[in-house]
Chain A
Amino acid sequence: MKKILLLLFFSFLLPKTYAQEYFPNNESVQNKTSNFTAFTNAKIYVTPTQVIEKGTLLIQHGKVIGVGTNISIPKNCTTINLDGKSIYPSFIDIYTSFGIEKPKATTERNPSYDTNRSGFYWNESIRSEVNAYQAFKYDQTKAEELLKAGFGVVGTHVPDGIARGSGTLIALNNFEKKDQLLSDKVTNHFAFTKSVTTNQSYPSSLMGMMALLRQMYYDLDWYKKGNSTTKDLSLEALANNEKLVQIFASEDKLNSLRAAKIAKEFGLNYVLKGNGNEFERIEEIKKTNSKFIIPVNFPEAYDVSDPNQANQMELKDLRFWNQAPTNLKVLADNGIIFALTTDKLKKMEDFRPNLLRAIKYGFDKTKALEALTTIPAALLGKSNVMGTLKTGSLANFVITSGEIFDEKTVLYENWVQGNKFVVNDIATKDIRGNYDLTINAEKYKWKIDGEITAPKSEITTVDAKKIKSKLTMTNNWISTVIKPNDSTKTSFTRLIGYVEDTQNLSGKAILFNGNEVKWSAVKTSPFVKAIDSSKIEKNNMIIPTTFPNVAFGNLKKPTAETILFKNATVWTNEKDGILEETDVLVKNGKIASIGKNISDASATVVEAKGKHLTSGIIDEHSHIAISNGVNEGGHNSSAEVTIQDVVNSEDINIYRDLAGGVTTSQLLHGSANPIGGRSAIVKWKWGAPADEMLYKDQPGFIKFALGENVKQANWGNVNPTRFPQTRMGVEQVFTDYFQRAKEYDLAWKNYNSTGKKGKGKAPRVDLELQTLAEILNKERFISCHSYVQSEILMLMNVAEKFDFRVNTYTHILEGYKVADKMKEHGVGASTFSDWWAYKFEVNDAIPFNGPIMHNAGIVVAYNSDDAEMSRRLNQEAAKAVKYGNVSEEDAWKFVTLNPAKLLHIDDKVGSIKVGKDADIVLWNTNPLSIYSKAEKTLIEGVVYYDAQKDEAQRVAIAKERSELIGQLLQEKNKGMTTQEPKKTEKKEYHCDTLEE
Chain B
Amino acid sequence: MISKKIYLLILAFSISILTQAQQTPAAKQSKSILILNATAHLGNGEIIENSAIGFVDGKITLVADARVIRLAAGAYDVTIDASGKHVYPGFIAPNSTLGLVEIDAIKSSDDEDEIGAMKPHVRSIVAYTADSKVIETVRPNGILMAQITPRGGVISGSSSIVQLDAWHWKDALIKENDGIHINFPTTFKRGGTRFEPGNIEANKDYSKQILELSSFLSNAKAYLGESSKERNLVLESTKGLYDGSQTLFIHANEEKQIIDAVQFTKESGIKKMVIVGGYEAYKTAELLQKNNIGVLLRRVHEMPENDDHDIDLPYKNAKLLTDKGVLVGLENSGAHERMNTRNLPFLAGTCAAYGLDKEQALQLITSNTAKILGIDAQCGTLEQGKDATLFVSEGDALDMRTNKLTNAFIQGRMISLETHQTKLNDRYKTKYNQK
By beta carbon, the residue of chain B nearest A987 is: B197
Asked if A800 CB lies within 8 Å of chain B CBs, one says no
Cα distance A656–B338 when bound, in Å? 26
By beta carbon, the residue of chain B nearest A833 is: B400
Which of these binds chain A: B30-38, B149-157, B262-270, B300-308?
B300-308
Known: A308-B254, A848-B425, A931-B349. A875 touches B400 (CB 8 A): yes
Are A852 and B429 neighbours in the complex by a CB distance under 8 Å?
A: yes
| CB-defined contacts of A888 to chain B, threshold 8 Å | 401
Q: Out of A837, A957, A981, which one reaches B339, CB within 8 Å?
A: A837
Which of these binds chain A: B84-92, B103-111, B219-227, B378-386?
B103-111
Binary B-proximity of A273-301 (CB < 8 A = 1, otherwise 0) = 00000000000000000000000000000
Asked if A929 CB lies within 8 Å of chain B CBs, one says yes
Are A933 and B307 neighbours in the complex by a CB distance under 8 Å?
A: no
Binary B-proximity of A289-333 (CB < 8 A = 1, otherwise 0) = 000000000000000000011011011100000000000000000
Known: A848-B421, A879-B400, A930-B399. A552 touches B311 (CB 8 A): yes
| CB-defined contacts of B428 to chain A, threshold 8 Å | 816-817, 819, 852
Q: Out of B312, B339, B346, which one reaches A836, CB within 8 Å?
A: B339
Q: How far is the CB of A932 from chain B (nearest CB, A)?
A: 7
The number of chain A residues touching the other chain, given as a range, is: 35 or more
Are A109 and B195 neighbours in the complex by a CB distance under 8 Å?
A: yes
Q: Out of B104, B302, B346, which one reaches A930, CB within 8 Å?
A: B346
Asked if B18 CB lies within 8 Å of chain A CBs, one says no
Cα distance A246–B199 when bound, in Å? 32
| CB-defined contacts of B310 to chain A, threshold 8 Å | 954
Cα distance A443–B104 when bound, in Å? 89
Are B303 and A984 neighbours in the complex by a CB distance under 8 Å?
A: no
Cα distance A981–B201 when bound, in Å? 7
Cα distance A868–B300 when bound, in Å? 11
Asked if B216 CB lies within 8 Å of chain A CBs, one says no
| CB-defined contacts of A984 to chain B, threshold 8 Å | 199-200
| CB-defined contacts of A315 to chain B, threshold 8 Å | 306-308
Q: How far is the CB of B191 from chain A (nearest CB, A)?
A: 8
Q: How far is the CB of B257 from chain A (nearest CB, A)?
A: 9
Are B336 and A837 neighbours in the complex by a CB distance under 8 Å?
A: yes
By beta carbon, the residue of chain A nearest B419 is: A846
Asked if B61 CB lies within 8 Å of chain A CBs, one says no
Asked if B7 CB lies within 8 Å of chain A CBs, one says no
Q: How many residues of B contact A (CB 8 A)?
A: 55
Known: A551-B308, A980-B201, A985-B190. A837 touches B103 (CB 8 A): yes
Are A982 and B398 neighbours in the complex by a CB distance under 8 Å?
A: no
Binary B-proximity of A856-891 (CB < 8 A = 1, otherwise 0) = 100000000001110010010011011000001000
Asked if B376 CB lies within 8 Å of chain A CBs, one says no
Cα distance A855–B435 when bound, in Å? 14
Asked if B134 CB lies within 8 Å of chain A CBs, one says yes
Binary A-proximity of B177-203 (CB < 8 A = 1, otherwise 0) = 000000000011011000101011110
Binary B-proximity of A961-980 (CB < 8 A = 1, otherwise 0) = 10000000000000000001
Q: How far is the CB of B192 from chain A (nearest CB, A)?
A: 9
Q: Out of B103, B187, B399, B403, which one reaches A838, CB within 8 Å?
A: B103
Are B201 and A982 neighbours in the complex by a CB distance under 8 Å?
A: yes
Q: Out of B188, B190, B338, B425, which one reaches A852, CB within 8 Å?
A: B425
Are A931 and B307 neighbours in the complex by a CB distance under 8 Å?
A: no
Are A839 and B311 neighbours in the complex by a CB distance under 8 Å?
A: no
Are B301 and A872 neighbours in the complex by a CB distance under 8 Å?
A: yes
Asked if A779 CB lies within 8 Å of chain B CBs, one says no
Report B384-435 residues with CB < 8 Å from chain A CB: 398-404, 421-422, 424-425, 428-429, 432, 435
By beta carbon, the residue of chain B nearest A655 is: B311
Q: How far is the CB of B429 from chain A (nearest CB, A)?
A: 7
Are A931 and B352 neighbours in the complex by a CB distance under 8 Å?
A: yes
Q: How far is the CB of B22 from chain A (nearest CB, A)?
A: 14
Cα distance A867–B304 when bound, in Å? 11
Are B104 and A838 neighbours in the complex by a CB distance under 8 Å?
A: yes
Asked if B102 CB lies within 8 Å of chain A CBs, one says yes
| CB-defined contacts of A713 to chain B, threshold 8 Å | 105
Are A311 and B255 neighbours in the complex by a CB distance under 8 Å?
A: yes
Are A982 and B199 neighbours in the complex by a CB distance under 8 Å?
A: yes
Cα distance A933–B352 when bound, in Å? 12
Are B425 and A840 neighbours in the complex by a CB distance under 8 Å?
A: no
Are B104 and A982 neighbours in the complex by a CB distance under 8 Å?
A: no
| CB-defined contacts of A869 to chain B, threshold 8 Å | 301
Binary A-proximity of B38-57 (CB < 8 A = 1, otherwise 0) = 00000000000000000000
Cα distance A218–B379 when bound, in Å? 71
Are A837 and B102 neighbours in the complex by a CB distance under 8 Å?
A: yes
Q: How far is the CB of B126 from chain A (nearest CB, A)?
A: 22
Chain B CB within 10 A, most for which of A312, A652, A930: A930
| CB-defined contacts of B421 to chain A, threshold 8 Å | 836, 846-848
Asked if B319 CB lies within 8 Å of chain A CBs, one says no
Asked if A983 CB lies within 8 Å of chain B CBs, one says yes
Chain B CB within 10 A, most for which of A109, A656, A836, A888: A836
Cα distance A678–B190 when bound, in Å? 33
Q: How far is the CB of B201 from chain A (nearest CB, A)?
A: 4
Q: Out of B137, B302, B346, which one reaches A875, CB within 8 Å?
A: B346
| CB-defined contacts of B9 to chain A, threshold 8 Å | none
Are B349 and A878 neighbours in the complex by a CB distance under 8 Å?
A: no
Are B307 and A551 neighbours in the complex by a CB distance under 8 Å?
A: yes
Cα distance A932–B133 when bound, in Å? 32
Binary A-proximity of B70-90 (CB < 8 A = 1, otherwise 0) = 000000000000000000000
| CB-defined contacts of B404 to chain A, threshold 8 Å | 882
| CB-defined contacts of B197 to chain A, threshold 8 Å | 985
By beta carbon, the residue of chain B nearest A881 is: B401
By beta carbon, the residue of chain B nearest A928 is: B401
By beta carbon, the residue of chain B nearest A882 is: B400
Asked if B170 CB lies within 8 Å of chain A CBs, one says no
Are B338 and A837 neighbours in the complex by a CB distance under 8 Å?
A: yes
Binary A-proximity of B123-146 (CB < 8 A = 1, otherwise 0) = 000000000011001000000000
Are B103 and A839 neighbours in the complex by a CB distance under 8 Å?
A: yes
| CB-defined contacts of B119 to chain A, threshold 8 Å | none
Are A840 and B106 neighbours in the complex by a CB distance under 8 Å?
A: yes
Binary A-proximity of B100-122 (CB < 8 A = 1, otherwise 0) = 00111110000000000000000
Asked if A917 CB lies within 8 Å of chain B CBs, one says no
Are B301 and A929 neighbours in the complex by a CB distance under 8 Å?
A: no
Asked if B160 CB lies within 8 Å of chain A CBs, one says no
Binary B-proximity of A912-952 (CB < 8 A = 1, otherwise 0) = 00000000000000101111110000000000000000100
Asked if B246 CB lies within 8 Å of chain A CBs, one says no
Cα distance A840–B339 when bound, in Å? 13
| CB-defined contacts of B298 to chain A, threshold 8 Å | none
Cα distance A981–B342 when bound, in Å? 39
Q: Out of B199, B256, B307, which one reaches A308, CB within 8 Å?
A: B256
Q: How far is the CB of B186 from chain A (nearest CB, A)?
A: 10
Cα distance A954–B302 when bound, in Å? 19
Are B400 and A878 neighbours in the complex by a CB distance under 8 Å?
A: yes
Cα distance A109–B432 when bound, in Å? 50
**Additional A-B contacts beyond A981-B202, A985-B200 (17; CB < 8 A):** A308-B255, A314-B307, A315-B306, A820-B435, A834-B343, A835-B336, A839-B104, A839-B106, A879-B400, A882-B401, A926-B401, A929-B401, A930-B353, A931-B349, A931-B399, A961-B308, A984-B199
State the 9 A-B residue pairs at the shortest beta-carbon distance, nearest first: A551-B308, A930-B349, A315-B308, A839-B105, A846-B421, A848-B425, A308-B256, A837-B339, A652-B307
Report B's interface with A, CB cutoff 8 A.
102-106, 133-134, 137, 187-188, 190-191, 195, 197, 199-202, 254-256, 301-303, 306-308, 310-312, 336, 338-339, 342-343, 346, 349-350, 352-353, 398-404, 421-422, 424-425, 428-429, 432, 435
Query: 18 A-B residue contacts at CB 8 Å?
Result: A312-B254, A315-B307, A550-B308, A653-B303, A708-B105, A837-B133, A837-B338, A837-B339, A840-B105, A868-B301, A872-B301, A878-B400, A929-B399, A931-B353, A980-B202, A983-B188, A985-B200, A988-B303
